[in-house]
Copies of this chain bind each other. A is one copy, B any other.
């Protein structure tokens, strides 16, 4: 059971946007036992779309197409799919109703003819009703193969994929189970890890594959297996993990499926009924936003303050000016004072602070670009750690956020 994903849109090929739809669809298909053979991104060009559809039909059982379904002239996917199947477009009454409903309840502006015309679909297609947008999804079967066309707007595509495409695929095809289990490691290079686990890797059964995913001092080891007996496959993978874990126990930190670090932290704080506040300087709100992007943050998160200008560290957080003058604004002392004051100000159980220089200029600080101090304050304790995180602004900010999460996780899980 193989699928091909075709994403259509000039904006992808000129690099104006990153195609995130394919990863979502790939993951979703894997979750129901469908492997993705290939992802193909192509221009809004009729001949190219026809060629890609024909190639995909030759390679795969399921062809998932996104993009090019908008109401404007640059969107040609629907007409091209119609040509591919030698079909004609017919107006679908249920889609017309849906579009009218969307305009009445949400858009609240006069409806355009081009939007009403989005209700035209190939006569051979079944409608996948798009409740959150005017472009309908389409499902066309041919010789036991399935072609699905969805809009490229990510949240419309996601809703269609989850609520309609996956359930229909599950009914139509008998599928194996695909299982991925990813081990997270910190602090050792992939070749060192490979050397440590070489014998184990060489003896893996054929239907279980190992992949190394290195990224900024962190290596993910992914075991992937496929089989029709879910229980057996699960046992096999668990058994392999039992063998490999002792070999890497000094660098192993957890499994990827357990969620991102901030989610683990949020869960633990909520369980402990403890609260958190944040005082950010160089991370500029990124740490706060990392926590608040997830629902339920209000149960443990009191708030955060971004004291970007040096003066605001004294004005808002009441960090003593003498500490800043004596030690400089990028220092362990200032980081710790920020965390202590933040905790008091927000009346939280814990506070995390960051101060550093993300670059590209030196700013108010004497510190080298990439130098970051992170401090954590709790009821009876404050401590800080210094990091050198390179000289690329975006990477310094992200690494500092990751380090803060890593430090704080150790702090709250240590008991």
**Which A residues are closer than 8 A to B by beta carbons?**
10-20, 22-28, 30, 35-44, 48, 52, 70-75, 107, 109, 112, 114-115, 153, 155, 178, 180, 182, 189-192, 194-195, 201, 209-215, 222, 224, 275, 277-278, 284-289, 291-293, 295-298, 301-309, 311-312, 315-316, 345-347, 359-361, 363-364, 392-395, 397
Contact = CB atoms under 8 A, between A and B. Distances in A.
A115 B195 CA distance: 11
- For A191, A278, A286, the residue with the greatest tally of chain B CB atoms inside 10 Å of its CB is A191
Contacts of A298: 308-309, 363-364
Nearest to A292: B284
B292 A304 contact: no
A39 B7 CA distance: 9
Contacts of A295: 359-361, 393
13 contacts: A12-B22, A14-B30, A14-B180, A16-B23, A17-B23, A18-B22, A38-B40, A70-B212, A74-B210, A115-B191, A302-B312, A303-B308, A303-B316
A203 to B, nearest CB: 12
Contact of A289 (B182, B286, B311, B363): B286
A212 B36 contact: no
Contacts of A109: 189, 192
Contacts of A44: 211
A39 B16 contact: no
Contact of A224 (B14, B212, B278, B395): B14
Nearest to A115: B191
B19 A293 contact: no
A292 B302 contact: no
A265 to B, nearest CB: 15
Given A14-B27, A15-B23, A361-B295, A305 B316 contact: yes
Contact of A305 (B11, B20, B38, B304): B304
A207 to B, nearest CB: 14
B43 A194 contact: no
A10 to B, nearest CB: 6
A26 B38 contact: no
Contacts of A209: 10, 74
A305 B308 contact: no
A319 to B, nearest CB: 12
A212 B285 contact: no
Contacts of A35: 13
B293 A394 contact: yes
A312 to B, nearest CB: 4
A26 B42 contact: no
A307 B284 CA distance: 15
A41 B42 contact: no
Contacts of A307: 303
B316 A73 contact: no
Nearest to A189: B107
Nearest to A275: B309
